[in-house]
């Protein structure tokens, strides 16, 4: 069996690929693959291993020997799943590989925003501490997590891990009903919980029901000092509405790890706004990138290969 990895660069250069080598007879690895190179590189391979390279129907139809696609991520939106099914190509992804990493990043954003770190770091860099009339600066109102209410959208493994970490700070946690399924869910909706939330953290997939889940109307329901964190997918928040609320003092802080288009080749208003005196943190979709999480991706993909071989036996 020949396997081809099309975008090893997305795993970094410090991760051991030995578990994958051990599962296939031949493993060909490419750091990055352009759209024009996809068919050429996968010709003759039975297994394609990809992270974000798009494998659409046209590409899949040009690869009659392809039997399996292993996605080095949870999302499979870069694969034409209907075409794969029609062509008899199995698709396997990995889940829960970055739970600890993303939960840690979420808490980092929560703590930094609660303590107004972006604003105080700016003040220190501008020399304002040295100009203070007394020993400290206290011109930005901070938030103590103990006793505050964290509302989480998404009660999967990641959402539950974030809840556990937040509870260690004495934070009260509520999970919302699944967006789009509120009528048959016993949990309160986000709209119901938003007015009493001190922090809202998103850990749900991007679907029709969650696109712009946090829009101007939802932001208007939230407390003026509330913190909003998105370590899920870009587009779940109406980023422009959230930025407008932050600038207008109708949102206490905004932490974003994802944007609708990645990488943001043409920039983004939130990136530009990072230069403004706002309680805003934008990180480059790197909540998941601890070495441990990336090694988990390789290990889980090797397990997918092993199980696939067993189904063929």
Residue range 118-129, pLDDT digits in tens: 999 999 999 999
- Please tell me whether residues 27 and 55 are part of one structural domain: yes
Task: Look at residue 312 in the predicted model and tell me its pLDDT.
Answer: 80
- Please tell me whether residues 146 and 71 are part of one structural domain: no
- Please tell me whether residues 31 and 110 are part of one structural domain: no
Mean pLDDT of the chain, nearest integer? 97
Of the chain, the percentage scoring pLDDT greater than 70 comes to 100
Question: pTM for the complete prediction?
Answer: 0.93
CATH of the domain at 194: 3.40.50.720
Task: Look at residue 63 in the predicted model and tell me its pLDDT.
Answer: 98
Q: Which residues contact 310 (CB under 8 A, 6 or more apart)?
A: none
Question: Collapsing DSSP states into helix, strand and coil, what is residue 24?
Answer: coil
- Please tell me whether residues 219 and 231 are part of one structural domain: yes
φ, ψ for residue 91 (rounded to 5)?
-125, 125
Task: Look at residue 311 in the predicted model and tell me its pLDDT.
Answer: 87
Distance CA 193, CA 149 (A): 10
Confidence check: pLDDT of 68 > 80? yes
Mean pLDDT of 105-115: 98
Distance CA 185, CA 152 (A): 15
- Please tell me whether residues 28 and 112 are part of one structural domain: no
Lowest pLDDT segment from 41-45, 71-75, 89-93: 71-75
Tell me how many domains the chain contains: 2
Taking residue 144's Cβ as centre, other Cβ atoms within 10 Å add up to: 12
The answer to whether residue 262 is catalytic is yes
- Please tell me whether residues 152 and 262 are part of one structural domain: yes
Distance CA 5, CA 58 (A): 19
- Please tell me whether residues 75 and 168 are part of one structural domain: no
Of the chain, the percentage scoring pLDDT greater than 90 comes to 97
Confidence band (pLDDT; 50, 70, 90) for 313?
Answer: low
Taking residue 108's Cβ as centre, other Cβ atoms within 10 Å add up to: 18
Give me the catalytic one of 22, 37, 144, 262. Answer: 262
- Please tell me whether residues 275 and 295 are part of one structural domain: no
- Please tell me whether residues 36 and 119 are part of one structural domain: no
The answer to whether residue 285 is catalytic is yes
Range of the domain at 135: 99-282
Give me the catalytic one of 178, 203, 233, 294. Answer: 233
- Please tell me whether residues 248 and 116 are part of one structural domain: yes
Mean pLDDT of 134-149: 97
Task: Look at residue 75 in the predicted model and tell me its pLDDT.
Answer: 86
Query: Sheet of 26-29: strands edge to edge?
Result: 26-29, 2-5, 47-50, 68-71, 90-92
Give me the catalytic one of 122, 140, 285, 299. Answer: 285
Task: Look at residue 29 in the predicted model and tell me its pLDDT.
Answer: 97
- Please tell me whether residues 133 and 180 are part of one structural domain: yes
- Please tell me whether residues 142 and 206 are part of one structural domain: yes
Distance CA 4, CA 44 (A): 10
- How far apart, in Å, are the Cα atoms of 267 and each of 76, 261, 271, 282, 286? 25, 9, 7, 12, 17
* C-beta separation of 48 from 62 below 8 A: no
């Amino acid at each position: 069996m020949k396997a081809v990895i099309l975008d090893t660069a997305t795993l970094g250069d410090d991760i051991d690929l030995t578990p994958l080598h051990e599962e296939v007879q031949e493993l060909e690895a490419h750091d990055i693959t352009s759209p024009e190179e996809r068919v050429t590189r996968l010709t003759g391979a039975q297994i394609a291993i990809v992270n974000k390279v798009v494998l659409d129907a046209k590409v899949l139809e040009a690869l009659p020997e392809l039997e399996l696609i292993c996605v080095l991520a949870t999302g499979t939106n870069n694969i034409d799943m209907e075409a794969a099914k029609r062509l008899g190509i199995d698709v396997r992804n990995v889940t829960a590989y970055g739970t600890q990493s993303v939960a840690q990043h979420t808490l980092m954003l929560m703590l930094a925003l609660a303590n107004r770190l972006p604003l105080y770091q700016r003040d220190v860099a501008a020399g304002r501490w040295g100009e203070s009339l007394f020993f400290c600066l206290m011109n930005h109102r901070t938030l103590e997590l103990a006793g505050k209410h964290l509302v989480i959208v998404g009660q999967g493994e990641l959402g539950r891990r974030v809840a556990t970490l937040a509870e260690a700070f004495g934070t009260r946690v509520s999970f919302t009903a699944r967006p789009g399924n509120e009528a048959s869910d016993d949990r309160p909706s986000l709209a119901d919980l938003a007015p009493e939330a001190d922090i809202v953290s998103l850990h749900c997939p991007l679907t029709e029901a969650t696109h712009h889940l946090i829009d101007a109307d939802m932001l208007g329901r939230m407390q003026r000092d509330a913190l909003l964190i998105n370590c899920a997918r870009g587009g779940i928040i109406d980023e422009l509405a959230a930025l407008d609320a932050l600038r207008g003092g109708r949102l206490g802080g905004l932490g974003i790890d994802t944007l609708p288009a990645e990488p943001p080749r043409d920039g983004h208003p939130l990136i530009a706004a990072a230069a403004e005196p706002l309680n805003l943190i934008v990180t480059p979709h790197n909540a998941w990138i601890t070495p441990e999480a990336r090694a988990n991706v390789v290990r889980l993909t090797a397990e997918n290969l092993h199980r696939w071989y067993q189904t063929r036996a």
